[in-house]
Amino acid sequence: MPKTDKVLTQLDQEAANKPQQGRRGPQEMVKVSAELLDNLVNLAGETSISRGRLEQQVTDFSYSLEEMDSTLERLRDQLRRLDIETEAQVLFRQERQTPSYEDFDPLEMDRYSQMQQLARSLVESASDLLDIRESLTNKTRDAETLLLQQSRVNTELQEGLMQTRMVPFQRLVPRLRRIVRQVGQELDKQVEFKVFNADGEMDRTILERLISPLEHMLRNAMDHGIEDKTTRAKTNKPAQGTVELSISRDGGDVLVILKDDGQGINIDAVRNKAIERGLITEDSKLTDVEITQFILHAGFSTAEKVTQISGRGVGMDVVNSEIKQMGGTLFINSIAGEGTEFQVRLPFTVSVNRALMVRVGDDLYAVPLDSIQGIVRVPIHQLESLYQQPVMDRTFEYANENHRLEYLGSMLGTEAQPKFAGQRMPAPVLLIKGDTPYALQVDSLLGSREIVVKTLGTQFSSVMGVSGGTILGDGSVVIILDLPAMIRSQSNLEYQHAKALDAIEAEKRHELEQRPNRILVVDDSVTVRKVTTRLLERNGFEVFTAKDGVDAIATLQDHVPDLMLLDIEMPRMDGFEVASVVRHDSRLKHVPIIMITSRTGDKHRNRAFSIGVNEYLGKPFQEDKLLATIDSLLTEVVEQ
Q: Quote the pLDDT of residue 252.
A: 63
- Given a cut of 50, whether residue 576 has pLDDT beyond it is yes
Upstream peptide bond of 620 is cis (omega within 30 degrees of 0): yes
Residue 29's H or E segment, with its range, is none
> In terms of Cα–Cα distance, which of 468, 492, 491 is closest to 479?
468
Neighbours of 620 (CB within 10 A): 10
CA distance 368 to 510: 37
Q: Quote the pLDDT of residue 603.
A: 86
Q: Quote the pLDDT of residue 99.
A: 53
Task: Output 597 or 435, whichever has higher pLDDT.
Answer: 597
pLDDT category, 7, cuts 50, 70, 90? very low
Q: Quote the pLDDT of residue 537.
A: 86
What are phi and psi for residue 14, nearest 5 degrees? -65, -40
Query: How many residues make up the chain in this entry?
Result: 640
Q: Quote the pLDDT of residue 307.
A: 52
> In terms of Cα–Cα distance, which of 367, 335, 549, 332 is closest to 442?
367
Q: Quote the pLDDT of residue 295.
A: 76
CA distance 179 to 176: 5
- Given a cut of 50, whether residue 11 has pLDDT beyond it is no
CA distance 329 to 485: 9
Q: Quote the pLDDT of residue 326.
A: 72
- Given a cut of 50, whether residue 351 has pLDDT beyond it is yes
DSSP 1-17: --HHHHHHHHHHHHHHH
Instruction: Please state the rounded mean pLDDT for residues 72-77.
Output: 85
Q: What is the pLDDT of residues 544-560, one digit of tens each?
A: 888 888 888 888 877 78
Residues paired with residue 522 on neighbouring β-strands, in sequence order: 546, 566
Task: Output 516 or 172, whichever has higher pLDDT.
Answer: 172
Of 367-381, 410-424, 564-578, the least confident: 410-424
Alpha carbon of 571 to those of 523, 524, 533, 578, 620: distances in Å?
10, 8, 21, 12, 20
What does the angle CA 398 – CA 399 – CA 404 come to, to the nearest 5 degrees? 35
Residue 251 and residue 370 in contact, taking contact as beta carbons nearer than 8 Å: yes
Q: What is the pLDDT of residues 383-409, one digit of tens each?
A: 888 888 777 778 888 878 888 888 888
Q: What is the pLDDT of residues 193-215, one digit of tens each?
A: 888 888 877 777 788 888 888 88
CA distance 105 to 107: 5
CA distance 462 to 323: 11
From start to end of 382-532, where are the E strands? Answer: 395-398, 401-407, 427-432, 438-441, 444-452, 466-471, 477-481, 518-522
Of 40-54, 85-99, 593-607, the least confident: 85-99
Averaged confidence pLDDT in the chain: 77
Q: Quote the pLDDT of residue 638.
A: 64
- Given a cut of 70, whether residue 454 has pLDDT beyond it is yes
DSSP 585-604: -TTTTTS-EEEEES--SHHH
Q: What is the 3-state secondary structure (H, E, C) of 572-586?
A: CCCHHHHHHHHHCCC
Q: Quote the pLDDT of residue 303.
A: 56
Q: Quote the pLDDT of residue 435.
A: 63
For the chain, give the percent of residues with pLDDT over 70.
78
Strands 563-566 and 542-546: unpaired
Strands 253-260 and 241-250: antiparallel
- Given a cut of 50, whether residue 9 has pLDDT beyond it is no
Of 254-258, 298-302, 421-425, 570-574, the least confident: 298-302
CA distance 391 to 388: 9
CA distance 513 to 501: 19
- Given a cut of 50, whether residue 313 has pLDDT beyond it is no
Q: Quote the pLDDT of residue 361.
A: 80
- Given a cut of 50, whether residue 586 has pLDDT beyond it is yes
Q: What is the pLDDT of residues 589-612, one digit of tens each?
A: 888 888 888 887 888 888 888 888
CA distance 270 to 273: 5
What are phi and psi for residue 528, nearest 5 degrees? -60, -40
Angle of helix 526-538 relative to helix 623-639, nearest 10 degrees, comes to 60
Residue 532's H or E segment, with its range, is helix 526-538
Q: Tell me, what amino acid is at 139? A: K
Torsion of CA 145, 151, 152, 157, to 10 degrees: 150
Strand, helix or coil at 619? coil
pLDDT category, 91, cuts 50, 70, 90? low
Q: Quote the pLDDT of residue 8.
A: 43
CA distance 282 to 489: 26
CA distance 555 to 476: 22
Instruction: Please state the rounded mean pLDDT for residues 71-80.
Output: 84
For the chain, give the percent of residues with pLDDT over 90.
0
Residue 121 and residue 8 in contact, taking contact as beta carbons nearer than 8 Å: no
Q: Tell me, what amino acid is at 319? A: V
- Given a cut of 60, whether residue 506 has pLDDT beyond it is no
Q: Quote the pLDDT of residue 372.
A: 82
For 463, which DSSP code? S
Q: Quote the pLDDT of residue 228.
A: 82
What are phi and psi for residue 16, nearest 5 degrees? -70, -30
- Given a cut of 60, whether residue 173 has pLDDT beyond it is yes
CA distance 637 to 522: 21
Q: Quote the pLDDT of residue 187.
A: 83
> In terms of Cα–Cα distance, which of 553, 561, 554, 555 is closest to 594?
561
Residue 402 and residue 395 in contact, taking contact as beta carbons nearer than 8 Å: yes
Q: Which residues, at least 6 apart from 135, have a Cβ–Cβ distance to it below 8 Å? A: none
- Given a cut of 80, whether residue 296 has pLDDT beyond it is no
Alpha carbon of 387 to those of 381, 393, 440, 532: distances in Å?
10, 9, 12, 37
Instruction: Please state the rounded mean pLDDT for residues 24-48.
Output: 75
CA distance 292 to 271: 9
Residue 225 and residue 184 in contact, taking contact as beta carbons nearer than 8 Å: no
CA 224 to centroid of chain Cα atoms: 41
CA distance 298 to 314: 9
Q: What is the pLDDT of residues 220-278, one digit of tens each?
A: 888 878 888 888 888 888 888 888 898 887 766 788 888 888 888 878 787 887 787 77
CA distance 179 to 189: 13
Q: Tell me, yes or no, if the pTM score tops 0.75.
A: no
Residue 310 and residue 340 in contact, taking contact as beta carbons nearer than 8 Å: no
- Given a cut of 80, whether residue 218 has pLDDT beyond it is yes
pLDDT category, 503, cuts 50, 70, 90? very low
Q: Quote the pLDDT of residue 107.
A: 47
pLDDT category, 57, cuts 50, 70, 90? confident
Q: What is the pLDDT of residues 459-497, one digit of tens each?
A: 676 677 787 788 776 777 888 887 777 776 665 444 344
What are phi and psi for residue 31, nearest 5 degrees? -85, 125
Full strand arrangement of the beta sheet holding 372-378: 372-378, 427-432, 438-441, 401-407, 395-398
- Given a cut of 70, whether residue 56 has pLDDT beyond it is yes
Of 296-300, 332-336, 502-506, 508-512, the least confident: 502-506
What are phi and psi for residue 315, nearest 5 degrees? -90, -175
- Given a cut of 80, whether residue 292 has pLDDT beyond it is no
Q: Quote the pLDDT of residue 314.
A: 47
